[in-house]
Amino acid sequence: MLDTLEAEKERFLAALKGVEGEEALYQLQVSFVGKKGSITGLSKKLGKLSVDERKAFGKELNRVKGEIQAALDGRRDELRDAARARDLGRVEDLTMPPKRPPRGSLHPITIAQRALIDTFRRMGFDVAEGPHIEHANYNFDALNFQPDHPARDMQDTFVVDDRRGGEDLVLRTHTSPVQIRSMLGRTPPVRIIAPGTVFRCDDDATHSPMFHQIEGLFVDRGVTMADLKATMIQFTAAFFGRALDIRLRPSYFPFVEPGAELDMQCPFCERAKGSVCSVCKGAGWIELGGSGMVHPAVFEAVGVDPEVYTGWAFGFGIDRMAMLMYQIPDLRQMFDGDVRFLRGFSN
């Protein structure tokens, strides 16, 4: 047994030389002096020896164990010193610029939306919000859409299966239902804008199934269409830095009477200088969206007396506004999620 002990010790010392890492060192320790290690195995045989043999072998065993432990500790210190030396010896180039985490930027639509909110806020408008999943009633009926109006068709509107509380639900097709929400249970004056995402079953180069609008609503005693025009001129002055002319073209929307398409004088024509303006294609006008005087039926749906109050409303596309601000040619680029495109915008 003494021979075996000595042989194991030699085997251990030989293996120790080849150990290069702390983990390997630990494994080696386990295989010799761990619970199931070979040296530990020998000590378990002590009981079978005579008293004298046990004394002698026990002594040897302890000596060898001590040597093994000392060798392990020594090698561990060596490995640690070597690692530390490697670390200290590493050459850092202190003239390199520091690594910065990548910085995100705002989406062009968010930038445009914030700019619009900021401008209208300064003009005295509150910001109102409504849910994306809207009561069909607020999206259509209360806005004076008749039950058979084509806009209600499933081809144009995303209908939500879940009829919570027995009510028909849709993804709102415009921000106009926020008009209903901001008038319900409230006495005018109401002066709000409602920016947000809207949804329609459209998908091509100029239409996305998800896009953004900003709604405006002003209701009080004696409000006229002249206020609408004046407010819009004031808006263009604040937003584009100079007052632009506003043009109203008769049009139809169920929730306004009279209704109008609202155009603004093209703010980019000047840039063209002699050639045809690429933004308005030489028309001189840019269509912003729809507008009009709030229909009495809408007032009745929300409990506002149309004999006492009048009001105007408008709804514009924000995406188009962002495309104008940044000269983005294709609507879809804005929703592709390509960071090479998105990185181009500063805020």
3-state secondary structure of 256: strand
Hey, which residues between 197 and 216 contact ligand DAH (CB under 6 A)? 215
Burial class of residue 138 (count of CB atoms within 10 Å of its CB; 0-12, 13-18, 19+): buried
The two structure tokens encoding residue 146:
């008749």
- Strand 190-199 relative to strand 126-127, pairing: parallel
**Of 232, 314, 320, 323, the one binding ligand DAH by CB under 6 A:** 314
Look at the chain and count its residues. 347
Strand arrangement of the beta sheet that strand 159-160 belongs to = 133-135, 169-171, 159-160
256 binds ligand DAH (CB under 6 A): yes
**Of 108, 177, 292, 311, the one binding ligand DAH by CB under 6 A:** 292
For residue 110, what are the CA distances in angstroms to 76, 195, 319? 58, 10, 10
* Binding segment toward ligand DAH, per CB under 6 A, in 78-86, 89-97, 118-126, 253-261: 253-261
Widest pairwise Cα distance in the chain? 120
Name the residue whose CB lies closest to ligand DAH: 290
Q: What angle do CA 220, 127, 241 make, to 5 degrees?
A: 90
Hey, which residues between 24 and 53 contact ligand DAH (CB under 6 A)? none
3-state secondary structure of 132: coil
196 binds ligand DAH (CB under 6 A): no
Separation of alpha carbons 263 and 288, rounded Å: 5
**Of 29, 157, 176, 265, the one binding ligand DAH by CB under 6 A:** 176
218, 311 contact by CB (below 8 A): yes
The two structure tokens encoding residue 36:
């199931």
57 binds ligand DAH (CB under 6 A): no
Residues touching ligand DAH: how many (CB under 6 A)? 13
Residue 199 or 345: which CB sits closer to ligand DAH? 199
177 binds ligand DAH (CB under 6 A): no
CB of 287: closest distance to ligand DAH in angstroms? 11
Hey, which residues between 315 and 334 contact ligand DAH (CB under 6 A)? 315
CB of 198: closest distance to ligand DAH in angstroms? 7
* Binding segment toward ligand DAH, per CB under 6 A, in 227-235, 251-259, 296-304, 321-329: 251-259
Interface ranges with ligand DAH (CB under 6 A):
174, 176, 215, 253, 256, 259, 289-292, 313-315
